[in-house]
Amino acid sequence: MTPRSTRLLTTACALLLTAGPLGACKTLDQADKRMKQSFQQSNADNQSTLDFLEGRVGPFDEYVYGLNWAAVAAGAGLYKPDHPFNAYMHKVGTTIALGSHYPHTYAGYTFAVLDSDERNAVAVPSGFIFITRGLLSVIQSEDELAAVLAHEIAHHELRHNMLDAAAGKAFKVMDAIFGNESQTDEQTIMETMAVGYNERHELEADRRAIELLALAGYQPQALVRVLQRLKFAEGSLGGRGYPTGREVLARQHIADLDLPQRMIPDLRNRRFDAAITGFAEVEIARN
């Protein structure tokens, strides 16, 4: 790890010591060791994998690949697809995406809500972003919605979904989609989605989401609030290795970047309240 990363984790540990028992610091130390192991794979190795993958799969192929994944993800049904909230969410999501390194995809970004009680979100290749009705129930503002979408856009920008596609079962799914097998293995797709990203990818996506929020003029601290709320929410799904003290690390990254605590314009709150009316039951509890 870099000296900066070590300093970040040391500071985060100190924060935990002031807010909780010594066991929390010990847990964070264990997470530090796991992250050191995870970060041993260099970015050069990742780039080599992507070069191989993208040499085989062009933008249209990735779109077909992602569309098949999206069809399976939406198998449980979309939640109120004709409600105006969907257009509103698309505006928020595309605003975030414009600040990313992948502002456009082959057919444009797609944002939709899945009719599921689970609290989860997923970024499918080629810019298909899904959040669940269950996750939406804990989002209390436009900035928090932007934070969730920014995290998923970060996964796409950092090519996490395509890196995962190059390993294990997901590569078999790609072969099936491109006609090398008789039919797409939908169960394999669902299993791959349920496993989620690894600890390194989740940490990278959190950090990049904070930067994307700041670039778009949203409050980066909104991500911390969502993470804190999900930590105690029943039915919240995580990747196979969410970092311990995830919200603490996010808060420290905001401090490391010296990002100000932006005031949220009342217009944004009113806009969110109007859009969500009649779409989902959301308990608004703003300070």
pLDDT of 210 strictly over 70: yes
Segment 101-121 shows an average pLDDT of: 92
Query: Which carries the bigger pLDDT value, residue 71 or residue 100?
Result: 100
pLDDT of residue 130: 94
pLDDT of residue 268: 95
- The token pair that represents 158 in the structure block: 């950092």
12-23 per-position pLDDT tens digit: 333 333 333 344
Q: Which amino acid does the sequence have at 143? A: D
74-92 per-position pLDDT tens digit: 877 999 999 999 999 999 9
Helix 221-231 vs helix 246-256: crossing angle, to nearest 10: 170
Q: How would residue 113 be classed by pLDDT, with cut points 50, 70 and 90?
A: very high
pLDDT of residue 29: 53
CA angle (98 as vertex; 97, 99 as ends), nearest 5: 90
pLDDT of 215 strictly over 50: yes
Helix (H) or strand (E) segment spanning residue 108: none
pLDDT of residue 232: 73
Q: What is the percent of the chain where pLDDT is above 90?
A: 37
pTM, to two decimals = 0.73
**CB-hemisphere CA count at 13 Å for 126?**
18
pLDDT of residue 159: 82
Query: Which carries the bigger pLDDT value, residue 145 or residue 11?
Result: 145
pLDDT of residue 61: 79
Strand partners, 129: 111, 123
Helix (H) or strand (E) segment spanning residue 215: helix 199-216
Query: Which carries the bigger pLDDT value, residue 42 or residue 100?
Result: 100
Average pLDDT of the chain is: 75
Query: Which carries the bigger pLDDT value, residue 177 or residue 247?
Result: 247
Distance, first Cα to last Cα, the chain: 38
The answer to whether 119 touches 63, Cβ cutoff 8 Å, is no
147-197 per-position pLDDT tens digit: 999 999 999 888 877 766 555 444 555 555 555 544 445 555 555 555 556
Pairing of the two strands 110-114 and 121-124 = unpaired
Segment 265-285 shows an average pLDDT of: 88
pLDDT of residue 273: 95
Q: How would residue 99 be classed by pLDDT, with cut points 50, 70 and 90?
A: very high
pLDDT of residue 79: 95
Segment 222-230 shows an average pLDDT of: 91
Q: What is the percent of the chain where pLDDT is above 70?
A: 61
pLDDT of residue 48: 55
pLDDT of residue 4: 41
